[in-house]
Structure 1
Amino acid sequence: MPRPFTRLPEPWAFVRHFSPNWFAMTMGTGVLALVLARLPWTLPGQLALAEALWWFGVALFATFGLLFLARLLLHRDTLWPMLLHPVQSMFLGAIPMGLAMLIGGLVQFGPAHWGAEAYRVAHGLWWLDAAMALASALLVPYLMFTRQQHALEKMTAVWLLPIVAPEVAAGAAGGLVPHLDPAAARAMLALGFVLWGLSLALAFSLITLVLLRLALHKLPDTDFAATSWLPLGPLATGCLGLLTLGQDAPAAFAGTALAGAAELAPGLALVGGLALWGAGLWWLVTAVLFTRHYIRDNMAFNLGWWGFTFPLGVFALATFELGRLTELRFFVLIGLVLSVQLAAIWLLVLQRTLRGAWHGELFQAPCLAGPSAPAHGVLRAD
């Protein structure tokens, strides 16, 4: 086996050049674990495999968190270049989104090991996640408006990453609310709806700009192939979050002044979820067609390929939830197809990522590459 880190741009580059792009790996791994756990039937070893993937995601998040913290503490001069970079800064939203997936796994797998304590830990982590999600949704756009340089022809759907994080946190709240006491449940549910509305409204605005950019300037180059899937993320997360929050509302607000409105929430959420799922289906088909176009152009691997996994996984989760609520086999069958596709893509991207990390070629932060670095800031591993 060849020696590791033979292609690092400098010694200890895996610390100085560690970028938030890596947290997209925890997003894709965490969502695959949840999809496996929520398949409409249980196969031998299925839940064990799902839990193992969740633990793998936990280990990844802890490792990435330590490396990112080490970069900020030991190389503080790299903070502003990262924040001012027009692409690298967007991936700050991947940190709370990765944590939200792990919180969902803790709710799913934790009680079997730690009982009710798992819900208490998940509750505390959720408030941390919501705070980080709001910070990314406020800080990064502010820097876009005041310090960063952008142009419509260079725009991609990566702009969605920081403002979708609150929506992902809202979806995580939907799974946790039923396990909390009434006061905590109401507070989390109310904030969950606020985060959902804040994020989805901005996401629709950005998706509109993405469509305009595609019409005027056509597809971005192959380095941005995976960004074609990113608009599916807020549509799928919006669907799933609305469904789960709506189902939680009657019990959470029972006996309060909002009890009457809460009784209507499940039905309204189902109607809204179906509408968002339809919008997501259009984008799913479009993204598949875009990807076929990119494959013909021999797209090279980069960390952005993890963008193929998370939107697809959340759409699969939303599809299974619609199947459960509507009792229509149509959704179950589509969810199974999406799940198989997700597992295949995850295995491919994981293999390429591990190979690139072993050689060290993925540890090259574009924001530190000097003025000649490409503006898009993709980490390549050809």
Structure 2
Amino acid sequence: MHQLIASPFLGDYLVTRPDSERGVKIPQGRYNELRSAGADEIAPEWLEKAATQCWGLNVGGRALRDVVLVRNESAYGFGRASYELNLGCNYDCEHCYLGVKRFEGLGWSDRERLLSIMHDAGVLWLQLTGGEPLIDPLFHEVYQMAWDLGMMIGISSNGSRLHNPKILNALTTRRPYRLTISVYGATEASYDGLTQRRGSFRKFQHGLTAAVEAGLPIKLNIVVARQNEHEVAEMQAMAERFNLPFHMFTNMSPTIYGGPESLPAQSQEFQRQRKPFGGCSAGVTFFHADPHGVASICKVGRDPSVNLISEGIGGLTNLAGIAEKLHTRTGGCSGCALSGTCWVCRPLAKLYQQAKAPLASYCQHGGR
């Protein structure tokens, strides 16, 4: 298995390590040197020095085939993607933006095709998500193939399955660069209350402890809802006790169908004022794939979309045009005098409007 990845990325050339967020930018000439080198050639001195300085990794005197996987250029220009393995979940969280969580997905041959398309499109960073990805019956096969293709893998999980020996073995044999674990409370009462699953807090504790002991690169996503807002300090203390970085998630969104059922979980005390939306790379250098291999510009703007299984990689060329149309102001936002400093993108505003959410949750007019 490779220890390093050399890859084009959005006009640059990088050397990355699968289990690290750090990387090294290299000139095109050095990338070409690695691409044209024979598999039996010894790692060049510059790569040896870079590996030592960046990761403390000794690759001196070793054949390139045992050190680095060199990825080819792509004509499609995508560097990042996310993939929902399955919308199914073993929790039923009140705040979940997925709405109806169906256990559906592609068979293995179509998943192989989807991952190959992602690879050929240039995707270097891939987020595996759900639902809960670790309960998907083909998680191990998807994870191994994506890793072996030379993608940097991030996983978003509720942590409930991380104590499973098979899962731990998969994640320690081929290590991700990041494992993001959601935190729904600091006590059994609040945690199980938000997830609506008895025993979920105990499973989370076991999974988090096992992942920390395995030395996995963990980041906590502390979800603040009305059910656990009184435990914010305790959830932060949990992260500090394990010496883990954390992010605070406080603003609830409508479901992907524009439904309002996730909004009552909003903590009014911790709802933060958003920064003005400054644009994004959705549909241009990033795309999202759902459990059926349908690609959209992101997790929010899901329609129109492109079926990658039936259309193939060429369908990705349509996403930039779709993104441009989705970001055009429509409906109640058309002609808005404050449109230059919108708090959310147009696709997300549309979902809020469909859910008949209060203006204050997504629009500057709500505070006027």
Q: Which has the higher contact order (CA 8 A, sep 6+)?
A: 1
Richer in strand (by share): 2
Bigger Rg, structure 1 or 2 = 2
TM over 0.5: no
Q: TM-score, normalised by structure 1?
A: 0.30
